[in-house]
Amino acid sequence: EGTCDGFFRVVLLGDPGVGKSSLVGIFRREQDRETAEQQQELYQCTLTVDGEDTSLLLMDICEIQKRTDGCDSALRMGHAYIIVYSITDRSSFESASELRIQLRRTRQYENIPIILVGNKTDLVRSREVSVEEGRACAVVFDCKFIETSAVLQHNVQELFEGMVRQIRLRRDGA
Ligand code: GDP
Ligand code: MG
């Protein structure tokens, strides 16, 4: 139900430079390493969460899409979304809200899992967006929220496990 060859399509959205490629790159398999250098945008990964396997197709495609149709097809093709901003860049936080609004507009009647991610928590001194602001934004936009550091690999596993749980909640009709 709702999958493509058993994979859930998880699309990453967010301004350039916020860390989308770094976040998905953590799930890059050894054999992908060479192609990843050549800007690969699709990653398959299978996560075991609560004793059950779920396969994700992570789609880091926004920057390609932007050139052609302003992300429109990215907003249509995902089963789930990860909207990333950098806690060191307030304008990327504002873009995240804008993307959430666009997504709601595009997928009005669907209850799609969305996680708002404040990345780069290791850059403590450059923080421009507080945890409270991120959390409040997620409440307003009715999505989950987590802060991560791709560089320290902090909360990245939790992010993707959270995504899997969100997908299962929808699947199980909760
Ligand atoms: P994208 O454009 O959203 O795909 O962002 P990238 O993954 O290419 O990252 C942009 C830059 O931010 C790169 O120089 C990364 O090394 C850096 N970066 C990504 N995530 C983090 C993070 O969690 N902490 C820090 N300090 N830098 C990060
Ligand atoms: Mg990128």
Reading the block at residue 135, the tokens are 């959390």
Helical segments of the chain, H only: 20-25, 33-37, 62-69, 72-77, 90-106, 131-140, 156-171
Kindly give the confidence (pLDDT) of every residue in the chain, 174 residues in length, as a single tens digit, with 9 standing for 90 and above: 445 567 899 999 999 999 999 999 887 765 555 554 545 688 888 999 999 999 999 998 876 666 666 677 889 999 999 999 999 999 999 999 999 999 999 998 899 999 999 999 999 999 999 999 999 999 999 999 999 999 999 999 999 999 999 999 988 875
User: What's the CA-to-centroid distance between 22 and ligand 1, angstroms?
Assistant: 6
User: What's the CA-to-centroid distance between 90 and ligand 2, angstroms?
Assistant: 18
Q: Cα(18)–Cα(85) distance, rounded to whole angstroms?
A: 5
User: What's the CA-to-centroid distance between 63 and ligand 2, angstroms?
Assistant: 7
Instruction: Residue 75: name the closest of 98, 42, 46, 41 by CA.
Output: 98
Strands 52-59 and 144-147: unpaired
**Between vectors from CA 149 to CA 144 and to CA 153, what angle results, nearest 5°?**
105
Instruction: Residue 63: name the closest of 13, 22, 101 by CA.
Output: 13
Q: Whose CA is nearest to atom 19 of ligand 1?
A: 19
